[in-house]
Structure 1
Amino acid sequence: MLQRLADQFETSSSAYAAANDIERDADWFLLKLQEEMGELTQAWNRLTGRGRAKGRSPEEMERDLADETADILGHVLLFARRHEVDLAAAIERKWKFKPSAH
C-alpha cells in the first residue's frame, strides 16, 4: 500500500518538476519536506488564532490544514522512496503493527 501510494506521489511530483524545470536532487526531497512542514505550521497557526487569517474563512483555513497535511504525507513518501527507506518495515519495528494493504 505505501509503495503504491509513493509511486502515485512520484508520478505527480516528477510531472510537476518537469513542467516547472525543478531539479529534484537528493537534498531537494528533504528541503521540500521542511518547506511543507513550515506551511503546515502556518496553516495550524492561522486556524488556531496564532497567526493572521489573511481574509481566510474558518472553512478555508481547515481546508488549508488538510491540504498541507496531504503535502507532508506526500513528501515523506517521496523522501522515503528516493532514499530507499522501507517505511513498512520501519512502521512495524517502531509502531508495532504491520501496515494494511487496504
Structure 2
Amino acid sequence: MDMNLLAQELEEVSVEYAGKNGIERDSNWFTLKLHEELGELTQAYLMKTGQARRKGLTDAQIEMTFEAEIADVFAHVLLLAKYHDVDVIEAVEDKWLRWHPSRQP
C-alpha cells in the first residue's frame, strides 16, 4: 500500500474516532497519544518476554496484542507526521537510507 494513501485512511479513522469520543486532535494530543500507545507496546512486550504479568492471556493472545500495539504505534507515528506535514518516506531516506551501503561512495 502507498504510504500517503495509508496515512490518509488512518487520518479518516482518527477523525471519526475523535468525533465519536469528543477528542480535540491538537499537537499535544498527537504526541501524547503516540506516547500512550508506546506504553501499551512496552507492556505487551514485557508480557511477551515473560517480564510482566500475563493477566491470564494465552501465548497467542499475547502475540496478537503485541502485534496490535505495533500497529497502533506505527499508525500514530504516521498521524503525527501527517499533522505536522512531515513526509515520512523522505525523512527516512534522509536520516537512515543515506547510510545504506549501496549509497556510500
Q: TM-score, normalised by structure 2?
A: 0.89
Which amino acid in the other structure matches residue 36 of structure 1?
Answer: E
How large is the Cα RMSD of the aligned pairs? 1.0
1:70 aligned onto 2:82: no
Aligned-residue identity in percent: 46
What is the number of residues matched between the two proteins? 97
Q: Taking structure 1 as the reference length, what is the TM-score of the superposition?
A: 0.91
Secondary structure of the residue aligned to 1:23 is: coil
- Segments ≥4 residues shifted beyond 4 Å: none
Question: Which has more radius of gyration?
Answer: 2
Q: Deviations over 1:25-84 (max 9, x none)?
A: 111000000000000000000111100000000000000000000000100000000001
Aligned to 2:81: 80
Partner of 1:100: none
Q: Which runs of no fewer than 5 residues in structure 1 stay unpaired? A: 98-102
Match of 1:5 in 2: 6
Unaligned runs of 5+ in 2: 99-105
Deviation at 1:96, TM superposition (A): 1.5
